[in-house]
Amino acid sequence: MQSLGAQYDNISKLGRVAEEDQALNTHEEFLNVRLNRLDWQRLKQVEAALDRLKAGDYGMCEHCEEPIPVKRLQAIPWAKYCVPCQERIQEQEQHEESEPATTGSW
């Protein structure tokens, strides 16, 4: 959490810059915001895993309710799903992203 705030503080302290440096600074700001977003998402995943641990649900797949293999939890301690369920979820998300958006009603 502290590093997320520090990155935003560094961005806000840039102030006025020469026009030729603006593109580089804008690109760096974009990257920092993206990295902050990824860090924030990971933090939320870890906090959710800690909540599952406290509730006694840690290590159980949230979809099929089967135990998540220990090797998967060692590799990804915040995993919510077993590998087969995770793969199905990702395939479904990719399919939904590739479908063209429709407007209006039939």
pTM of the complete model:
0.62
Structure tokens at 99: 């479908």
pLDDT digit string, tens, across residues 30-77 = 888 888 999 999 999 999 999 999 999 999 999 999 999 999 999 999
DSSP letter string, 42-83:
HHHHHHHHHHHHHHT-TTB-TTT-PBPPHHHHHH-TT--S-H
Beta carbons within 8 Å of 60's beta carbon, 6+ residues apart:
52, 66, 67, 68
104 burial class (0-12, 13-18, 19+ CB within 10 angstroms)? exposed
- Cα separation, 8 vs 44, whole angstroms: 19
Q: How confident is the model at residue 106 (pLDDT cuts 50, 70, 90)?
A: very low
